Structure 1
Amino acid sequence: MTQPILIIDDDPTFNAILARTLNRRGHPAIGAEDGDSALQLAATHQPRRIVLDLNLGGVSGLSLIPRLLEICPQARIVVLTGYGSIATAVEAIKRGATQYLAKPVEIEAILAAFDDAAMTDDEATPDEPLSMDRLEWEHIQRVLNEHAGNISATARALKMHRRTLQRKLAKHPVRS
């Protein structure tokens, strides 16, 4: 029997739609909305492909990557996020994720992310430099990651008022 794709996303609507779409395309899929149920499903079904949301109800999905790989060492994990940054992408890959994609994402991109073909240098390198706003966003995300998500410590490190940092983090990331 084919192992299902495990979808871990705290948004029940997105989770259900993604599972239904994958099932219709001939890829069996099951969904979990939190870390505990995800780990139970992983142990039961031994999925070889996992779609993991970066933010699971305020908890970082990154913390699940090593635990999922302990249970399913052959699994390929694709991390999805609505608030992508280079710092979290690097951290996801360091922890064992196969790919990191920003929402909204097409089903074809998710399926392609599971393929063994790596990106070429042309795909990995942008043609234009990042804007100043995007560079600021990336720097904030990197410092936030260094301080384990602690807003107060990050604000002190950036020499920025905590409320100002919270306002910047509440905004969607700036596009390149």
Structure 2
Amino acid sequence: MSEDRLLVIVEDDEAFARTLRRSFERRGYRVIAAANHDGLVALLAEHRPGFAVVDLKLGGASGLACVQTLRAGDPDMKIVVLTGFASIATAVEAIKLGASHYLAKPSNTDDIEAAFARDDGNPDAPVDGRQSSIKTVEWEHIHQTLVETDFNISEAARRLGMHRRTLARKLEKRQLR
């Protein structure tokens, strides 16, 4: 059984992790934090959280491995993936690996807690006929390639047929923080 209201935050941005920690502690959660997958594994050796907030991009690594580890340890855990690099491809992978919800940054504590409270999908979610722009299609293709290369920018650039610096600049322009 998981510890009551214990939340693990896996986030490499110390300032953002600290802000999330304080906000959740004010709401009655006990919070532990890790900056990467190895830190998470060490925490899970001693704790059984019932909730998790995982950043999709942890330095040069993917947070998807953290989602997989968390789900393997507790199939009932509420896991929310946060990302400044939102794409359909990474959302699908996160959900397949066991995330409960996927939120694009900037998201606040209210958004995350609301995601924890939701158990099911929303069949009434609007499905509009809006077509994707060329920029959106390009962005999703870039992110699919990044997922396939485990966020290795050099390899992704090679597969996309572009210079590594060009890809890095595109990622900087679209990053939400």
Matches within 5 A, 1:61-140: 61-123=63-125, 125-126=127-128, 128-140=130-142
Matches within 5 A, 1:134-149: 134-149=136-151
Q: List alignment gaps of at least 5 residues for structure 2.
A: none
| Matched residue type, 1:118 | D
Task: Say how many residue pairs are matched.
Answer: 174
Matches within 5 A, 1:160-171: 160-171=162-173
Aligned-partner SS, 1:45: coil
Note the C-alpha offset of 1:173.
Answer: 5.4
Aligned-partner SS, 1:44: coil
> What is the TM-score with the length of structure 2 in the denominator?
0.85
Note the C-alpha offset of 1:100.
Answer: 0.7
User: Contact between 1:52 and 1:61, CA under 8 Å: does it hold in 2?
Assistant: yes
> What is the TM-score with the length of structure 1 in the denominator?
0.85
Note the C-alpha offset of 1:89.
Answer: 0.9
User: Contact between 2:37 and 2:65, CA under 8 Å: does it hold in 1?
Assistant: no
User: Contact between 1:3 and 1:46, CA under 8 Å: does it hold in 2?
Assistant: no
